[in-house]
Amino acid sequence: MNTAADDDIRADFLAEAGELVQRLGEQMVDLERRPSDRELLNAVFRGFHTIKGGAGFLALEPMVALCHAAEDVFNALRNDVVAIGPELMDDVLEVVDRVQAMLVAAVAGKPLKAAPAQLIKRLRQRALVSAASPVVVAAEPEAPAESGSTPISDDEFEALLDQLHGAGQGPKGLSPAAPAPSVEPEAHEQAETAPAIQAPVADNGVRVDTAALDHMMNLVGELVLVRNRLKTLCGRNGQAPQARAVAELDHIARGLQVAVMRARMQPIRKVFARFPRLAREVARGLGKQVEVALHGEDTGLDKNLVEALADPLLHMVRNSVDHGIEAPPQRLAAGKPACGQLTLSAQQAGDHILITVADDGAGIDSELLRAKAVEKGLIAAADAAQLSAQECLQLVFLPGFTTKDSISELSGRGVGMDVVKSAIDALGGSVKIESRPGFGTQVQIRAPLTLAILPALMVGVGPRLLALPLAPVLDVFVLDPARIRKLDRWEVLLYRDETLRLVHLHRWLGLPLDDAAPRHVVVAQVDSERYGFVLSHVFGREEVVIKPFGAMLRGLAGLAGATVTGGGRVALIVDLPGLARASPAIR
């Protein structure tokens, strides 16, 4: 026996079955909304049938038994023997969860835990199938073929295997999902009229270990650093042939960078797919109804971001169902449909991705937020009184903030939106909230498409070199000290008819200020506010490779990491949201 080949077959099955199970979870929620969709019903049936066949080939008996029971249910649904309902869907979703758990155990090389007997019993009862004698609703018999033989349907063949070898089993060495061998009595006559065998469709995909992609991205990052260094050297004293060679290297490096980044891209569907079911379960637990709409699922972003965005979006979806969408009686009284609408959308905007979670629920009362924040001591009453309605909405991101007076399984502990903001800030992104009482709430996340290479504005503060993320930068101008005014403990100046709060980076770095030297202001959008970051020099744009800090330096306020510039210097990468939060201590 070829052990290596067996291991490859097992690995391929587990990977493909994992994708099938994830797709089944998505299809279940869609099927509950569209129970008459025959194509979707058949797709679910085929999914369970495929997993059962592969599991039978690999002798994963608990998985075979569970998938076979679910397959019977969907066969009965296909033949209109039973109807889709919430309780049936609860059982089938539990099947999906348990198959997923079995796959995790199989990947880890652990024994599979059999599904509860009560679950199998309920599935058989729902499918009107006795545990001892499966009942299969056969299709209408077809007319005999010209050769004199009567074709056998897939369901009949499956029932025959079950009777001969036990439910869910096939003969040793034969996958239950494999096609029946030909037993026609006049095979030579059929061979003359049988259609030509088609060549298998070429598979253009290949599975790549994520560690290999990470290594490739690290190498591309180092290549970018070398390219930047060569461009700097060539700009100083390079000759024409050298300049052409560096320009060609720059072109190739950029192409390679884009190619590797695309290879690391995954559709945000990987994140979105889990939320229709999550919203359904939360809503059922609260006695609510919700329908989830997904838009832009094919929008791609770095695989690390796909994983990093999962938890923040989970909090947002739960909050929308728990806090936002009302119970059916309240919605009907307000002139709304009983079923609430929750929309998740994604779109690419330059080198960023915009993700929106919107509901048509009760909305947020900004005055209530203001009062709650003062009541809980999260903000001084004087400061709260000066906040606009839009600024009050951002109070939901304060640590410990909640409008719930009682603690439940889902909320009331003051943990939620502050977790969202912290996670998004750590990714170099931003989050803002908009709401209208009675009409719903919208939360928008803006995050970079990749975490490895960052377009930055290189600036200087005295002898220090800093890299500011370029995306939030709106403008740069020379500071006129005479325009600075004092407003509520802030130094501000008027910028395009708006009051711009100033953050002096030399104070943040503890450096002395040279009053004679000119200073510059970099205007950047941080959340819903615009800040002016005051510094000494502006050098220009450069693509930098982010090098994270070690454990001892991680978590420093206002810093996201470091990089090596084209001139060979180390520059600190500034975390603008973190710096803005720390600004009261440094302004």
**Contact partners, residue 500, CB within 8 Å, separation at least 6:** 492, 493, 494, 521, 523, 530, 531, 532
136: left (phi over 0), alpha (psi -120 to 50) or beta: beta
HSE at residue 347, side-chain half, CA atoms within 13 A, is 6
Helix (H), strand (E), coil (C) string for 245-313: HHHHHHHHHHHHHHHHHHHHEEECHHHHCCHHHHHHHHHHHHCCCEEEEEECCCCEEEHHHHHHHHHHH
Residue 554: its pLDDT value, please? Answer: 66
> Residue 520 in contact with residue 477, Cβ under 8 Å?
yes
For residues 6 and 569, give the distance between their C-alpha atoms in angstroms, rounded to a whole number: 52
Write out the H or E segment, with its range, that includes residue 372: helix 366-375
* Rounded Cα distance, 361 and 274, in Å: 21
Can you name the residues that pair with 469 across neighbouring β-strands?
456
Cβ atoms within 10 Å, residue 88: 18
The domains located in the chain, with CATH, are: 3-180 (1.20.120.160), 210-266 (1.10.287), 268-448 (3.30.565.10), 453-585 (2.40.50.180)
- Position 403 scores a pLDDT of 56
Determine how many CB atoms are found less than 10 A away from the CB of residue 219.
12
Locate 139 and state its tokens: 């299709």
Going by the DSSP 8-state scheme, the letter that residue 320 receives in this structure is I
88's CB contacts (< 8 A; 6+ apart) are: 73, 82, 126
Residues whose CB falls within 8 Å of the CB of residue 270, separated by 6 or more in sequence, listed in order: 306
SS3 content of the chain, % helix, strand, coil (to 5): 45, 20, 35
pLDDT at 144: 42
| Phi, psi of 504, rounded to the nearest 5 degrees | -90, 115
Residue 350 dihedral angles phi and psi, to the nearest 5°: 65, -125
List Cβ neighbours of 553 (8 Å cut-off, separation of 6 or more).
559
Whether residue 360 contacts residue 382, with contact meaning beta carbons closer than 8 Å, is answered with: no
Do the strands 352-359 and 440-448 form a parallel or antiparallel pair, or are they unpaired? antiparallel
Please, are residues 355 and 447 in contact by the beta-carbon 8 Å criterion?
yes
Angle between helices 240-264 and 210-237 (to 10 degrees): 160
Gyration radius (Cα) of the chain, Å:
31
CA distance linking residue 340 with residue 34, whole number of Å: 17
* H/E stretch holding 341: strand 340-349
List phi, psi (to 5°) of 57: -60, -35
C-alpha distances (whole Å) from 562 to each of 44, 171, 312, 325, 545 are 49, 61, 25, 43, 8
- Within 13 Å and on the Cβ side, how many CA atoms surround 311? 15
- Residue in this structure with the two tokens 């096939």, named with its chain if needed: 170
Helix 117-126 / helix 61-78 crossing angle, nearest 10 deg: 20
How much is the pTM?
Answer: 0.60
Ramachandran sector of residue 168 (left: φ over 0; alpha: ψ -120 to 50; beta: rest)? left
Distance CA 260, CA 99 (A): 34
- Please give the pLDDT value at position 191: 38
Output phi, psi for 70, to 5 deg: -65, -40
Q: Say how far apart CA 173 and CA 44 lie, in whole Å.
A: 26
Please tell me the predicted confidence (pLDDT) of residue 551.
67
* pLDDT tens string 568-582: 788 888 888 878 877
Measured distance CA(307)–CA(505) in Å, rounded: 33
CA distance 422 to 427: 9
The separation between CA 313 and the C-alpha centre of its own chain, rounded to angstroms, equals 8
Residue 382: phi and psi, rounded to 5, are: -65, -40
> What's the chain's length in residues?
587
Sign of CA dihedral 551, 556, 558, 563: negative
Which parts of the chain sit beneath pLDDT 50?
1, 129-152, 157, 160-161, 163-202, 406-415, 585, 587
Q: Report whether 41 contacts 163 (CB < 8 A).
A: no
